[in-house]
Structure 1
Amino acid sequence: MQRRLILVAGAGVCVLPAWAHHGWSNFDAERPIYLEGRAAKVAWRNPHAEVELELASPLTLPSDLAKRPVPPQSAAVDAPAILAKTVLPTRRDKRWELELAPLSRMQAWQVAEIKPGTSLAVVAYTFPGEKGEAVARVEYLFVDGKAYALRSSPA
């Protein structure tokens, strides 16, 4: 009996980190949002890099967003549709927690480590109905004049 209790407790400890981590299925992939501003805080670590973004004021949707160049591996697949349906968030939070890609993918894309104060923009997904915390999973990162497709790997 005691052995069984230890096994169950051990299995629970292994499952907790995976349960606490947001998967893509938690986010509304049908409604991409546009966020732009400056990095207030940065955690450059695994399981994925994180940026606390202080939004630009006023936040506006760029008129050229649907025509922005993106990496070729996503440009021919779904980038035009994603960029065309991107909207501004309806909630009025001034800071958003951005979930970027794992560090291995950030390195493969050759994304320089983002530092506090860096200006950036993203196309990202938040929770359905924008409920819960101001958290967004980044699909496209625009920084230093470059675009990165964070759900894919570079060709």
Structure 2
Amino acid sequence: MNRPFITAAFSLALPAMAHHGWSEYDSSKTLTLTGKVIASGYEHPHGHVRLEADGKTWTAVLAPPSRMENRGLAPDAIKPGSTVTVVGYPNREKPTEMRAERITAGGKTIELR
């Protein structure tokens, strides 16, 4: 095999190797948080919201932007100042992080997985 081919094949595989699994989240425990969004990101590989809920600042890892858009969650629905409800699983190591399974924003509930 030639070197350019190997280099190209390896570089295409990097994004797949870099993507994490979900084992860092405890799917045996469900969290439901309602709070005010203080920051949000609608970027790859996953969107996120930081919200104030239960006296803490939480980070909720969302779905990829394309999935959120396809399911009807516009970026402005999770802008700072919005109130959202997020249902998901807590991170095993980070006590204020969760993986969101669904989000309710602007009166609309979106399944993220």
TM-score between both structures, scaled by the size of structure 1: 0.58
Quote the offset at 1:132 in angstroms. 2.5
- Aligned-pair identity in percent equals 36
- Give the whole-Å Cα distance in 2 for the aligned partners of 1:23 and 1:133: 18
Aligned equivalent of 1:120: 84
2:102–2:110: 8 Å Cα contact kept in structure 1?
yes
- Richer in strand (by share): 2
Moved over 4 A (4+): none
Higher RCO (C-alpha under 8 Å, 6+ residues apart):
1
Instruction: Tell me the matched-pair count.
Output: 101
Q: Which runs of 5+ in 1 are unaligned?
A: 1-6, 60-92
Quote the offset at 1:141 in angstroms. 0.5
Q: Which runs of 5+ in 2 are unaligned?
A: 1-6
- Give the whole-Å Cα distance in 2 for the aligned partners of 1:116 and 1:139: 20
CA-based RMSD of the aligned residues comes to 2.2
Quote the offset at 1:22 in angstroms. 4.4
Aligned equivalent of 2:71: 109
The higher radius of gyration belongs to: 1
- Richer in helix (by share): 1
Aligned equivalent of 2:103: 141
Quote the offset at 1:133 in angstroms. 4.3
